[in-house]
């Protein structure tokens, strides 16, 4: 994947790992009955055709301040002035 990213001049994190894994697995299944010399050539072809594995750039999100939400009170609090009279 690093070689594919270098070949297409993108960073390696923009190559879809799962799709590349599935393509390589399929190639190994198809190369099962072929000669052993065909496997490296097919992997080179995969690297060359890897443009379809490139993911779009991540969008920049606006930074929003983090806030701690107050917990909802289950029962109302007893007011002090009523509690002392009884």
31 belongs to a structural domain: yes
4 burial via Cβ count (<10 Å: 0-12, 13-18, 19+): buried
Does 86 fall in a domain?
Answer: no
Res 81: pLDDT: 66
Domain enclosing residue 4, as ranges: 1-56
pTM of the model: 0.54
Number of independent structural domains in the chain: 1
Q: Is there a domain that residue 61 lies in?
A: no
What is residue 66's predicted lDDT score, i.e. its pLDDT? Answer: 80
The answer on pLDDT for 9 being more than 80 is yes
Asked if pLDDT for residue 12 goes beyond 60, the answer is yes
**Element spanning 1, H or E:** none
Q: 68 lies in a domain?
A: no
């Amino acid at each position: 994947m690093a070689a594919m990213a270098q070949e297409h001049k993108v960073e390696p994190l923009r190559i879809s790992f799962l799709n590349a894994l599935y393509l390589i697995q399929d190639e190994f299944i198809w190369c099962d009955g072929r000669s052993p010399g065909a496997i490296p050539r097919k992997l080179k072809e995969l690297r060359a055709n890897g443009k379809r594995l490139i993911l779009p750039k991540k969008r920049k999100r606006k930074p929003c301040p983090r806030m701690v939400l107050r917990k909802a009170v289950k029962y109302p609090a007893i007011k002090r002035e009523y509690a002392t009279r009884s």
